[in-house]
Chain A
Amino acid sequence: MGDAELTGFLAKRMLWVLPTLWGVVTLVFLLGHALPSDPVEIMLGETASPAKKAELRHDLGLDRPLPDQYFLYMARLCQGELGRSLKTGRPVAEEIGEAFPLTLRLGLWALFMAAAVALPLGAAAARWPGGSLDRGALFLSTAGLSMPSFFLGPVLLLAFAVWRPWFPVSGSGEPGAIVLPAVTLAMPLAGFLTRTVRASMREESSRDYLRAARAKGLGETAAFIRHAGPNGLSPVVTIMGIQLGAVLTGAVLAEKIFRWPGLGTLVLSAIASRDYPLIQGVILAFAGVAVAANLLADVAVAIADPRAR
């Protein structure tokens, strides 16, 4: 096993992204163009004059045959051209570029918080299975999974921004403003990750190498941390990569509660004003990040863990 093997794996994995990415991009196109709904009618309302409808349809290229529209869409996308917002007239890429860092910051904070809770809790639950700690962890993780973020958010807001005004109520300007939305987002992820860590560590704890570590006189906890820990972590990293996409999309809900001016707020206002180029751009951005996070996690695992190559 050498660098060549790693490079080979990475190259193959990157190539595999292309068909998925193509599928995602095509799906978004089909949603926008092949469904029986008429965006022009939705944009202008049913009462608009036929001439006006035809004009807008021509401007959007919707009067051309579907394959033509598809090739035009793909060609523009390959050049990074996402069109202009119907509402502000600014390039969609620019609007996304402003909002995206805020959403990414929120998502990464949530991921970090969830991992900080789930890793020790899940590992401890697996170390003493069936104990009160294990049952407590299971209860907490089910609660985390069942707690809708749009319920947890208002509760946190009432508790820590109103009753005890430790954090700002909304916005992204003040320091500390990120804490409450990030906790809101982290909660279900922490519940899910705790289970993943526990299951993965339980599986490792019955392996031969751990029996060998115990046989040479290493204490159970030390063996668990030193030997089972690193091996049990790699599926967790994969899951975290898969979940980052879901966390960023889930941010739409947290952003609405805390008025956080990220991608979620952008897409909601775009939907409200029927700004189709902007809607499409934001959806593609979310999808692209989800695919990229997935890839990144696989790459990280492959570098750290030779078994995964």
Chain B
Amino acid sequence: MKRGRIAALTLLAWVAASLLAPWLAPSPYQRIDLAHRLEAPSSSHLLGTDELGRDLLSRLLYGGRVSLSVAAACVVVSLCIGGCAGAMAGYGGGSADFLFGRVVDVLMALPGLLLAIAIVAYVGRGLGALLLALSATAWVGYARVARSMALALKRRAFAEASLVSGATRWRVIGRHVLPNIAPVLLAQSAAGAAGVMLSEAGLSFLGLGIQPPYPSWGATLSAGCDVLLEAPHLALAPGALLFVVVWALQSLGEAASEWMDPRRRHALVRL
């Protein structure tokens, strides 16, 4: 549990830094200063400057803000879609469940990054496309858990009693199935958010994710790879930040699933 607490504090610090970015950032993230390109960390620029002389610390603070918003939006969207689709398939059964199974089969057969790249390649770059690309695979994990839980909940006495006393199936799903599934899905969402963060940064690294003028850790890392010898800080700083945030989300997810169910202590984490 100690690890979970450290992870939670780390994430809290990240969220606070993102919210307070306008006050914390030493200079505007878009201010270009070509006279001071690729400078090493110093007292005037705590983390140095990037290829256009912009303050790296400010860019990372704002980049974290963008990543946080994208990850949060994606988790909310995929949690809702996955939870509802899974609950309906599991509770409804029959052809709805069959259709659900085939869609999941196809999506599981494709590596997540591939589908995301494909979507961005066809839809074009931008925040909307990025959100679609990330959510298109992220919902499947929630949906599979929701489906298997709904399948079990369907036979529980309270769900059957509600149906017998005149509730519609939609009402049973809404009032009994979904509330029982929600805590488990929420616990799952921490590890899910770790995956989303990695995919988003990966896409941004490839130039397919967050686009300028917004700063992003992935894109900064990519620029840093081009000047790795002259200015290693440009690649190392955003990489280390991303590692810490993803590690914290991953650890929080583990702590949450441990807390939810001691038997699942050694359960696999979705990659």
Contact = CB atoms under 8 A, between A and B. Distances in A.
Contacts of A195: 266, 268-269
B194 interface: yes
Nearest to A195: B268
B117 A283 contact: yes
A153 B225 CA distance: 9
Interface stretch (A57-65, A77-85, A155-163, A299-307): A155-163
Contacts of B118: 28, 31, 279, 283
A150 B111 CA distance: 18
Given A148-B201, A150-B221, A157 B228 contact: yes
Q: How large is the interface on A (under 10, 10 to 19, 20 to 34, 35 or more residues)?
A: 35 or more
Q: Interface centre among B109, B229, B240, by most A CB within 10 Å?
A: B109
A235 B134 CA distance: 28
A157 B225 CA distance: 10
B243 A148 contact: yes
A151 to B, nearest CB: 3
A39 B122 contact: yes
Interface residues of B, number: 51
- Secondary structure of the A side of the interface? helix
Interface in A75-106: none
Nearest to B242: A148
B91 interface: no
Interface of B: 102-103, 105-106, 109-114, 117-124, 194, 198, 201-202, 205-208, 218, 221-222, 224-225, 228-229, 232, 235-236, 238-240, 242-243, 246-247, 250-251, 254, 266-269, 271
Contacts of B229: 162
Contacts of A153: 225
Interface in A106-163: 142-143, 145-151, 153-155, 157-158, 162
Contacts of B271: 145, 188, 192, 243, 246
A37 B129 CA distance: 11
Contacts of A246: 111-113, 271
A35 B206 CA distance: 23
Contact of A286 (B111, B239, B247): B111
A279 B121 contact: yes
Contacts of A154: 221, 224-225, 228, 232, 235-236, 239
Nearest to B197: A148
A35 B136 CA distance: 14
A241 to B, nearest CB: 11
A146 B202 contact: no
Contact of B205 (A19, A142, A256): A256
Contacts, number: 148
Interface of A: 19-20, 23-24, 27-28, 31-32, 35, 37, 39, 42, 142-143, 145-151, 153-155, 157-158, 162, 188, 192, 195-196, 198-199, 202, 243, 245-246, 248-250, 252-253, 256-257, 267-268, 271-272, 279, 283, 286-287, 290-291, 294
Contact of A245 (B111, B218, B246, B267): B111
Nearest to A17: B109
Contact of A283 (B114, B222, B228): B114
A32 B202 contact: no
Contacts of A28: 118
A41 to B, nearest CB: 9
B111 A37 contact: no
Nearest to A22: B106
Given A142-B250, A146-B243, A147-B243, 19 more contacts: A19-B102, A20-B105, A23-B106, A35-B123, A37-B124, A143-B247, A145-B250, A148-B201, A151-B240, A162-B228, A195-B268, A198-B266, A199-B267, A245-B110, A245-B114, A246-B113, A249-B117, A253-B202, A256-B206
A257 B202 CA distance: 12
Contacts of A145: 194, 250, 269, 271
B114 A249 contact: yes
A147 to B, nearest CB: 6
